[in-house]
């Protein structure tokens, strides 16, 4: 019996190809894009995040397309990761080249040349997928940019972000849906040193490309410690526990520093205007600031 969330090819006839294949731009490329940007993504997460991005609405047909992309060597299947249902996918170098040929490639320099990340980092990327799913359920997300794409954008825009955040969410304001709020999202799986956080504070203070920064941690104890280390007088910085953000969304309690004391607020503050609208990204050849 076929386990749910495991892709398979219907057994009537094996798929054969002679090295040439025509990809459906409306149905295959969205799958490649999502898998590339997520770095690692489980089949269950893919089903939740692909909605609205592809014309392939049938689950079985989409499953067959995934199996075909695996056979063509454009995506790779990894064993399931503990606590996540279904196989895990990652893009291959061949898949990256297909996206480049379709005009959807990323600018890759010395800052990011590896296609296949370390599988040890798989739980981190899968958690980032969960955070994106929770954010899309809680806010009106206009755009969700992952670190891979953000690195590429920072190479070609006039005002890059001072730090490559795990994600950059562009969300609509609560009071005015025409307001676009740029929210940096950082998943802190393990706490860093005080010296490292001091450098982060400097980057946050100098960053004029985000309206706010949301740190997500695994435990309340980490939230208390981190909220004292990542304060900023210029950019609102909040810390929220991942499980609470997933279950309560904008109603989850978050911590942030105010007048050297840690106070609790609601994550919904992230969806309200925090400062003046940011200027549009403009192409440039100027050197990129360090991360």
pLDDT in the model for residue 116: 59
115 has a pLDDT exceeding 90? no
pLDDT digits (tens, 9 = 90+) for 210-265: 888 999 999 999 998 998 888 888 888 889 999 999 999 888 888 876 543 444 44
Q: How far apart are CA 116 and CA 39, in angstroms?
A: 8
**In terms of domains, do 150 and 265 share one?**
yes
Beta strand ranges found along 135-267 (DSSP E) = 141-146, 167-172, 180-187, 212-217, 237-241, 253-258, 261-266
**In terms of domains, do 152 and 71 share one?**
no
130 has a pLDDT exceeding 80? yes
Which tokens in the block code for residue 161? 């972000």
**In terms of domains, do 130 and 256 share one?**
yes
Confidence band, pLDDT 50/70/90 cuts, at residue 106: confident
pLDDT in the model for residue 58: 87
Q: What average pLDDT does range 115-136 have in this prediction?
A: 89
**In terms of domains, do 196 and 84 share one?**
no
With respect to residue 112, please indicate whether it lies within any of the assigned structural domains: no
199 has a pLDDT exceeding 60? yes
With respect to residue 159, please indicate whether it lies within any of the assigned structural domains: yes
Confidence band, pLDDT 50/70/90 cuts, at residue 92: very high
Structural domain boundaries enclosing 250:
123-271
**Average confidence score pLDDT of the chain:** 78
Query: At how many degrees (to 10) do helices 220-229 and 194-206 cross?
Result: 60
The CATH number covering residue 198 comes to 3.40.91
**In terms of domains, do 151 and 13 share one?**
no
With respect to residue 39, please indicate whether it lies within any of the assigned structural domains: yes
Residue listed under structure tokens 């309690």: 253
With respect to residue 29, please indicate whether it lies within any of the assigned structural domains: yes
**In terms of domains, do 80 and 139 share one?**
no
**In terms of domains, do 194 and 224 share one?**
yes
**In terms of domains, do 56 and 94 share one?**
yes
Which tokens in the block code for residue 281? 């990204």
With respect to residue 285, please indicate whether it lies within any of the assigned structural domains: no
pLDDT digits (tens, 9 = 90+) for 18-61: 445 567 888 899 999 999 999 999 999 999 999 888 888 888 99
277 has a pLDDT exceeding 80? no
pLDDT in the model for residue 281: 37
The CATH number covering residue 10 comes to 1.10.10.10
**In terms of domains, do 70 and 127 share one?**
no
With respect to residue 15, please indicate whether it lies within any of the assigned structural domains: yes
Which tokens in the block code for residue 220? 């309340």
- Last residue of a domain, which of 77, 105, 133? 105
**Which comes out higher in pLDDT, residue 173 or 243?**
243
Closest CA to 40 of 98, 106, 126: 126
pLDDT in the model for residue 215: 94
With respect to residue 283, please indicate whether it lies within any of the assigned structural domains: no
SS3 209: coil
283 has a pLDDT exceeding 70? no
Q: How far apart are CA 76 and CA 192, in angstroms?
A: 32
**In terms of domains, do 39 and 130 share one?**
no
Q: How far apart are CA 161 and CA 172, in angstroms?
A: 20
**In terms of domains, do 51 and 130 share one?**
no
Number of domains in the chain: 2
């Amino acid at each position: 019996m076929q386990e749910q969330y495991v892709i398979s090819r219907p057994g009537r006839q094996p798929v054969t190809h002679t090295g040439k294949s025509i990809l459906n731009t409306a149905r295959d490329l969205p799958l490649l894009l999502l898998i590339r940007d997520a770095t690692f993504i489980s089949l269950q997460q893919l089903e939740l995040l692909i909605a609205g991005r592809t014309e392939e609405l049938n689950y079985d047909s989409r499953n067959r397309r995934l199996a075909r992309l695996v056979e063509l060597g454009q995506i790779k299947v990894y064993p399931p990761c503990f606590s996540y249902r279904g196989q895990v996918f990652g893009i291959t170098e061949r898949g990256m080249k297909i996206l480049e040929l379709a005009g959807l490639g990323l600018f890759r320099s010395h800052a990011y040349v590896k296609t296949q990340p370390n599988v040890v980092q798989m739980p981190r990327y899968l958690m980032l997928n969960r955070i994106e799913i929770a954010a899309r359920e809680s806010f009106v997300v206009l755009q969700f940019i992952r670190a891979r794409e953000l690195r590429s954008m920072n190479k070609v825009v006039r005002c890059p972000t001072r730090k490559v955040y795990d994600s950059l969410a562009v969300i609509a304001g609560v009071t005015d849906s025409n307001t676009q709020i740029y929210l940096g999202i950082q998943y802190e799986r393990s706490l860093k040193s005080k010296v490292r956080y001091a450098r982060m504070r400097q980057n946050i203070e100098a960053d004029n490309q985000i309206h706010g920064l949301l740190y997500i941690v695994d435990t309340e104890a980490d939230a208390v410690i981190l909220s004292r280390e990542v304060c900023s007088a210029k950019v609102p910085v909040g810390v929220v526990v991942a499980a609470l953000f997933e279950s309560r969304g904008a109603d989850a309690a978050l911590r942030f520093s105010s007048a050297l004391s840690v106070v609790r607020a609601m994550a919904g503050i992230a969806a309200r205007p925090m400062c003046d609208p940011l200027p549009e990204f403009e192409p440039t050849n100027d050197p990129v600031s360090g991360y």
